[in-house]
Amino acid sequence: MTPRGRRPAGGDTRGAIAAAAREEFADRGYDGTSMRAVARRAGVDPALVHHYFDGKPALFAAAMDLPVSPSALVAGILEGDPACLGERLAQTFLRAWDDPANTPHIVAMLRAGMTHDAAGRMLREFLTTEVFGPVARAARPDDDPSVPLRAGLAAAQMIGLATLRYAVPHPPVADAPADEVARRVGPVLQQHLTE
Amino acid sequence: MTPRGRRPAGGDTRGAIAAAAREEFADRGYDGTSMRAVARRAGVDPALVHHYFDGKPALFAAAMDLPVSPSALVAGILEGDPACLGERLAQTFLRAWDDPANTPHIVAMLRAGMTHDAAGRMLREFLTTEVFGPVARAARPDDDPSVPLRAGLAAAQMIGLATLRYAVPHPPVADAPADEVARRVGPVLQQHLTE
Q: Tens digit of pLDDT for each residue in B45-65?
A: 999 999 999 999 999 999 998
Q: What is the ipTM of this complex?
A: 0.89
Which residues of A fall within a CB distance of 8 Å from B193? none
Mean pLDDT of A5-30: 83
Q: Which of A155, A170, A187 is nearest residue B128 as measured by Cβ atoms?
A: A170
**What is the full DSSP assignment across chain A?**
---TT-SPPSSTHHHHHHHHHHHHHHHHTTTT--HHHHHHHHTS-HHHHHHH-SSHHHHHHHHTT-SS-HHHHHHHHHSS-GGGHHHHHHHHHHHHHHSTTTHHHHHHHHHHHHH-HHHHHHHHHHIIIIIIHHHHHHHS-TT-TTHHHHHHHHHHHHHHHHIIIIIS--HHHHSS-HHHHHHHHHHHHHHHHH-
Predicted pLDDT of residue A11: 66
With 0-12 / 13-18 / 19 or more C-beta atoms within 10 angstroms meaning exposed / middle / buried, residue B65 is exposed
Query: What are the E-state strand segments in chain B?
Result: none
Give the residue from chain B lying closest to A133, CA to CA: B172
What is the Cα–Cα distance from B108 to B167, expressed in whole angstroms? 8
Least confident of A156-170, B40-54, B60-74, B76-90: B60-74
Inter-chain residue contact A161 with B161, CB threshold 8 Å: no
Q: Tens digit of pLDDT for each residue in A51-109?
A: 999 999 999 999 998 877 888 899 999 998 988 999 999 999 999 999 998 899 899 99
CA–CA min distance A150, chain B (Å) = 8
Inter-chain residue contact B164 with A159, CB threshold 8 Å: yes
pTM: 0.90
Q: Tens digit of pLDDT for each residue in B95-130?
A: 999 999 889 989 999 999 999 999 999 999 999 999
Give the residue from chain A lying closest to B190, CA to CA: A188
Which residues neighbour A71 within 8 Å (Cβ) at sequence distance 6 or greater?
Answer: A55, A57, A58, A61, A130
What is the Cα–Cα distance from A129 to B40, expressed in whole angstroms? 53
pLDDT higher than threshold 50 for residue A5: no
Which tops the pLDDT comparison, A5 or B157? B157
Percent of chain B with pLDDT over 70: 94
- Reference A25, options A68, A58, A47; nearest CA is A58
CB half-sphere exposure, B60, CA atoms < 13 A: 26
What is the Cα–Cα distance from B138 to B59, expressed in whole angstroms? 24
Write down all domains in chain A, each with its CATH number in brackets: 13-63 (1.10.10.60), 70-194 (1.10.357.10)
CB-based contact B189:B89 (threshold 8 Å): yes
CB-based contact B63:B167 (threshold 8 Å): no
Inter-chain residue contact B168 with A192, CB threshold 8 Å: no
pLDDT higher than threshold 60 for residue B73: yes
pLDDT higher than threshold 60 for residue A8: no
Inter-chain residue contact B156 with A164, CB threshold 8 Å: yes
- Kindly report the average pLDDT of chain A as a whole number: 91
Least confident of A95-104, B66-75, B147-156, B176-185: B66-75
